[in-house]
Structure 1
C-alpha cells in the first residue's frame, strides 16, 4: 500500500525553486480557484523527474495537473476528507514531517558530526553496573554512588576488572559475559555510555558515570576501524521444520558446495538452486550491507570474514537456513554527505534528542510572549500532596477555585489549568523525587511551559515555513487521491466480477499460454555423466535412482529440477522439436542438459483464474485511463487562457 501511495503522489516531496511572482487564478473547478504559484512550483519540482520531453510540454502538463485536481475535487465531494483513517494518517504524517522543524539546527549539526566521527571506529568495552532508578531518592542515589566509588577504588588499586565485575556488577548478563559487551559503534548504546566509551583510551578505566540504568564504570578493551559495508552473493537452502527435510536441506547445500569446489560456476548454481527467489536470478548477489543491518549476525560475520574478492565460504547455518557466501566487494564507511540525513534521523530517535529539545525550548522562550497566573499556581500547590511520590495522587474533581487560564501564549493561546493538573498527574510515573511539593510543582510548571511553547510553535509551522505548508497541502491532496483511487478504481476492479470478466474476454489475446511441458531437467558439467543419465531416463529410472547411481564418493555429478514449464523457459529453447519422452543432449554455458518430458499442453488462452492478478491490474489501468474524461463531464471547468499564456512565457524564459 505504501508503494502505491508513493506512485500516486506524483506531485509530491521534492524541493524546488519558487518563482517570485504575484499569484493569479489559473483555472477553477466548480468555482474553486487554483493558482499559478502552485502550478509553477509543481511543474519545476517534477521537471528533473520527467525523462520524456513530451511530458515537459506545458499544455500537456496543464492537462495532467487539471486531472489531478479533478480527482481531489471528487474526493472532497464524496466527503473522504472526513474519514477517521484519513484524518489519523494525515495527523501522523504531519507529526513525522514536523520533526524536521522541531530542532535546533546548530546543535543537530554538532551531534551529526560527532556521530559520524565516532562511526569511523568500533569500540570493545567491558562494564560494571550499579543499579539505581532515575527517580531514586537522594538516599538511594547516594548509596549507589558510594558503592560505585568503592568499586573504582578497588580497580585503581590494581584488582582485576573481570573479577571485580563478577563480584559486584548488577548487570544480569555478567554471569555469561563477565561484563564484556563486545564491539559497538555510535547509536548502539545509550548516549552517556557511548560518550564514556569513546572518551576513554584503550586499556584505561573510566570514571563512574550515570545513565538511566544506574552508575557504570567501563574498561575500553580495544578500538578498531569500522569494517564498513560489504557486497556478497549467496546460495541459500531454506530451513525446514521437519527433521527429514532438515537433513535433506543440509545434503543439498553440501552437494552445491562440492560442485563449486569441482570448479562449477557459483552464479549458475545460485540461479538454479538458491531458494532466495529475490537474489537467485542475479546470481545470488545481495544489496550491500553493514554491521547490524541484516537479521542474521552469523551471516554478517561470515561475510565480513571473507578477505579476498571472489572468496567463497564453506556452508554455514543461520536462523533462516543454510548458506554459501561469495565476496563481491568491500566498501569503506560512506562519506559524511552521504550519511548526513540518515544520522539526523537516528539522532531524533536517540537520547541525544533531549539536547535538541532543550535547545529548542530555550529558543521558543525567546520567540514568544507568555504569561502565567501565579495565584492559580499557588492554589494548585495546595492540592498536590505526597501521594504524588507513591503515584496515587489524582486530579481533584469539581474544584471551581482551580479553574481558569493558567498560561497565555502570544495573547491568542490560552491554556486551562486542567491541562496542567493532568500534566502533573502524568508525571507521577517519572518517579520524580523533588521535595517539598511546592518546589515540585514549580519544577513541573517550567517543564509544562516548555512543552506548551513547543506545541504552539508546532501548531503554527504552516505560517512560519512556506515549504512546510506546501508539502502538507500536497500530501493532503495525495492522501485523498489514494483513498479515492482505492474506492473508485482498485476496489471496483477487484469486486466488479461482471466488468472484469467482460474486460478479460475482450482482451483475451493478452492472456495466452505458450506451449508447456511437464519436465524433469537434468544438468551436469560432465558429458559422460549426462549421457549415462539419458540412458537411465530411457529405461524409466527415477530421478532419485539416477542421482544415487551418478553422485558417488562425495562428488556431485548431476543435479535436477522438475515442474511444468513454458517452451521458452531457461534451457528448453535449446532443444529442437521437444515431445514426450527423453530428449537429446544439449550444451549451454559449460553445462550439458537432458530433459524428460512426461506431458505437454498446447498453446492457448488462459483461464481467468490462471491470470486473475494480471487481469485485475490491467483492468484497473483501463478504468483509470477513462476516469478523467468522466470527471471532466461531472465538474464545471474554467481555464484562464490569458493567465496561462503568461505562465508559459515565464517558464519558457
Structure 2
C-alpha cells in the first residue's frame, strides 16, 4: 500500500458509519469568513471517538482545536493551489472510483455469490479437462462444429475410454500433451466461474457434460475432492542461502542448518536455537514463531507443504530448502478453515474481480433500466445505425463526414440528453474490440444495448453524491485528506528530510535522548554440555578462533557447540542475561538448558548515537516539532472566529 493511501485511510476509518444524533446545522466557526458547520463537526467527532488513544482528544474543547487546525491546513493547501495539481486530481478520481464500487453493485446477488464462493472454498477439487477451442463471437456454424467435437469426445469418455489418453490425443489445451489434462487440486476463484461451477457440480469420479467458457467447450473429470487444509501456526529456523552465493557459502549454510538440526535431535530447545541462529530477524526474537497462514498465503510452496505435513506425532521437519534458504519447521497448532465472517470482505473483493461479477453487473443494469425508464427515439436510432458498414470488422469504419443530422436526442436519462452522434462515436471506439458478430445490423443492436448500459451506469455514478449523502461526506473527507497529505509533504516532511542544517540543530538539542546502551564486540559459545563449554572457555583463553573450536569439539555424529560472533547491545536475546560487560573470557553462565561462555574483544560504553545512527527517529521527531510550530503560524495567517454559544450547545448535545 502506498504511504498516501495509508495516511488517508487512517483519516477515514469507519467511513461508512452514520450517526442518527440530530445536531442543528449552524455555523460553528469561520476561517477568513468561510463557514464550517456543526453537523460536520459532530459527525467527524463521533466517527473518530473510538479511534483516538489520547484521552485529551476526546475532550470536545480540545477536539475543536484539532478540528480547526485541520481545516486551517486545508485552507492553506487551497491557498497554495494544491487542489489544481494533476496528480492530486488523478488521485482523487482514483479514490472515488474505488469508493463508488460499494454503490455500483447489486448487494443481493453479491451476497449470494460470496456465500457460494465460501461454501465452495471449504473443498479442494482434483480434476482433469479436455478443451475444444472456439471464439466467444464465433459464427453459429463454427460453434456447432466445436460442440459436435466435444460431444463426440464426451461420448467416448463416458463409455469408458481413458480420459487422460483422450486429453493427450484430442484436447486443444497445449499443456495436455504433457499432463494429459490434469489440473491438480484447485478451489473456488482459481478457474473461470463457468468451469468452476461445472467442476463443483460434478460428482467425484464422474465426467461433466460439455460446458462453454470464453476459451471454448470443455468436459471435466473430477478425480478427487478433499477438505480445505485450513491454516497452521509454526515456528521456524532459517539459514539464508542467497542465489548469488558461492559453492563454498552454500556448503556452509547447509552445514549450519544440519548442525542445528542435530542439536534439536539431541533434545536442545528449538526456540532457543531460533533466537541464537535463525537469520529471519523478524521471528527469531520470538523463538521463530510465524503468524498463522493458509495454502497460498506464503511465497514458498515448499515451506507450506512442509508445514502442513507436520503432525503432533512428528512436529519437527528435517532441514529442507526453499528459494530463500534452509529451514527447519516446528508445528505449534493447526487451525480449521476460517469462519465466513472472517473472510467475507476478502471474498467480496474476489467476487468483484472474477467472471461471476458479470452476474452482478447484469443485475444492476436491469435495476438501472427500471429506475430511469429510458425511451429511445427509434427514428434517430435507425438513421444512425444505417451509417455503420461492414468496414467495422476490419476497423476501417469512419463516422459520417457530416454528423449534424445525428446530433439530436437518441434518448435522455433524467435531464441528460444522449445524442445519435454520441452513439456513433461509441461504435467507432468499439472497433478495436474485434467483435465478429454478424450481420452488421445485429452487431449494432448488440452495441446499442451495451451503450445504453454504459450511459446508465455513468449517469448513476456521476450522481452518487446526490443519491447518497454518506458517499458525499466520505468523498469530501478524501478530498481534504489528499490535500492535507500533499501539504504536509510540501511543508513538513520534505523539509525535515532536506533541511540538513535544521535537522542537525534539532538533533544537538535532543541528542541525549538518542543513545546506545552498553555494547560488546564478542563471540558467544553455547552448549548443553558443561564439560564441552569448559573446553571452549579454555580455548578462548588460548585465543583459538571460534571456527577451530567448533571443528575440535563437534563430531560428524554430534554437534556439541555453536558460536555466534558480532556486536551485541545490552538486552540482546543472543547474550546471556548475567554476562558482565568486560573485556576477556567470561565465567561459564547457565540459562535454562544452556551453558554459555563469551569472549569479549571490546566493550563499547553507552553513548549518544550519531545523527546517522538515529536519523530515522530524529527526522520523525523533527517533523513533529515543525508541525507544532507550523499550526501556530497558520493561526496568525488566517482569521478564525468561533461561535462560542453554538459550540456550547453542540457540547451539551454530544455529551448526552
Scaled by the length of structure 2, what TM-score is found?
0.95
Which residue does the alignment assign to 1:483? 486
Q: Determine if contact 2:571/2:577 at 8 Å carries over to the other structure.
A: no
* Deviation larger for 212-221 or 130-139: 130-139
Which residue does the alignment assign to 1:330? 334
For residue 619 of structure 1, report the CA deviation from its aligned partner.
0.7
Equivalent position SS for 2:290: coil
Which residue does the alignment assign to 1:197? 199
After superposition, residues 561-600 of structure 1 pair within 5 angstroms as: 561-570=564-573, 572=575, 574-575=577-578, 577-600=580-603
Which residue does the alignment assign to 1:22? 24
Deviations 1:465-490 (A, max 9, x none): 11111111111111111111111111
For residue 648 of structure 1, report the CA deviation from its aligned partner.
0.9
Q: 2:133 aligns with which of 107, 110, 131?
A: 131
Equivalent position SS for 1:614: helix
Q: Determine if contact 1:308/1:327 at 8 Å carries over to the other structure.
A: yes
Which residue does the alignment assign to 1:313? 317
Q: Determine if contact 1:389/1:431 at 8 Å carries over to the other structure.
A: yes
Q: Determine if contact 2:231/2:337 at 8 Å carries over to the other structure.
A: yes
Which residue does the alignment assign to 1:370? 374
- In the alignment, the residues of structure 2 paired with residue 601 and residue 565 of structure 1 have an alpha-carbon distance, to the nearest angstrom, of 10
Which residue does the alignment assign to 1:537? 540
> Could you list the runs of 5+ residues in structure 2 that have no partner in the other structure?
none
Deviations 1:53-84 (A, max 9, x none): 43321111111111111111111111111111
* Deviation larger for 374-383 or 170-179: 374-383
For residue 305 of structure 1, report the CA deviation from its aligned partner.
1.4
Q: Determine if contact 1:234/1:270 at 8 Å carries over to the other structure.
A: yes
Q: 1:528 aligns with which of 528, 531, 537?
A: 531
Equivalent position SS for 1:599: strand
Q: Determine if contact 1:522/1:594 at 8 Å carries over to the other structure.
A: yes
* Deviation larger for 366-375 or 200-209: 366-375
- In the alignment, the residues of structure 2 paired with residue 605 and residue 112 of structure 1 have an alpha-carbon distance, to the nearest angstrom, of 56
- In the alignment, the residues of structure 1 paired with residue 131 and residue 256 of structure 2 have an alpha-carbon distance, to the nearest angstrom, of 47
* Deviation larger for 262-271 or 185-194: 262-271
Q: 2:168 aligns with which of 166, 173, 195?
A: 166
- In the alignment, the residues of structure 2 paired with residue 293 and residue 416 of structure 1 have an alpha-carbon distance, to the nearest angstrom, of 50
Which residue does the alignment assign to 1:382? 386
1:227 is aligned to 2:202: no
- In the alignment, the residues of structure 1 paired with residue 433 and residue 574 of structure 2 have an alpha-carbon distance, to the nearest angstrom, of 67
Equivalent position SS for 2:399: coil
Deviations 1:203-237 (A, max 9, x none): 11100000111110001111112111111121112
Which residue does the alignment assign to 2:254? 250
Equivalent position SS for 1:133: coil
Distance 1:573 1:146, change over 3 A: closer
Which residue does the alignment assign to 1:341? 345
1:629 is aligned to 2:632: yes
For residue 382 of structure 1, report the CA deviation from its aligned partner.
3.2
Equivalent position SS for 1:399: coil
For residue 110 of structure 1, report the CA deviation from its aligned partner.
1.1
Which residue does the alignment assign to 1:616? 619
> Could you list the runs of 5+ residues in structure 1 that have no partner in the other structure?
none
Moved >6 Å (runs of 4+): none
- In the alignment, the residues of structure 1 paired with residue 640 and residue 352 of structure 2 have an alpha-carbon distance, to the nearest angstrom, of 45
Which residue does the alignment assign to 2:459? 456
Q: Determine if contact 2:167/2:177 at 8 Å carries over to the other structure.
A: no
* Deviation larger for 584-593 or 399-408: 399-408
Q: Determine if contact 1:370/1:407 at 8 Å carries over to the other structure.
A: no
Q: Determine if contact 1:520/1:560 at 8 Å carries over to the other structure.
A: yes
Q: Determine if contact 1:27/1:640 at 8 Å carries over to the other structure.
A: yes
Which residue does the alignment assign to 1:181? 183
Equivalent position SS for 1:433: coil
Deviations 1:463-514 (A, max 9, x none): 1111111111111111111111111111110111111111011112112233
Equivalent position SS for 1:75: helix
Deviations 1:95-115 (A, max 9, x none): 111111111111111111111
- In the alignment, the residues of structure 2 paired with residue 501 and residue 442 of structure 1 have an alpha-carbon distance, to the nearest angstrom, of 71
For residue 566 of structure 1, report the CA deviation from its aligned partner.
2.7
Equivalent position SS for 2:127: strand
How many pairs does the alignment contain? 652
- In the alignment, the residues of structure 1 paired with residue 224 and residue 173 of structure 2 have an alpha-carbon distance, to the nearest angstrom, of 21
Across the aligned residues of Structure 1 and Structure 2, the Cα RMSD in angstroms comes to 2.0
- In the alignment, the residues of structure 2 paired with residue 119 and residue 10 of structure 1 have an alpha-carbon distance, to the nearest angstrom, of 32
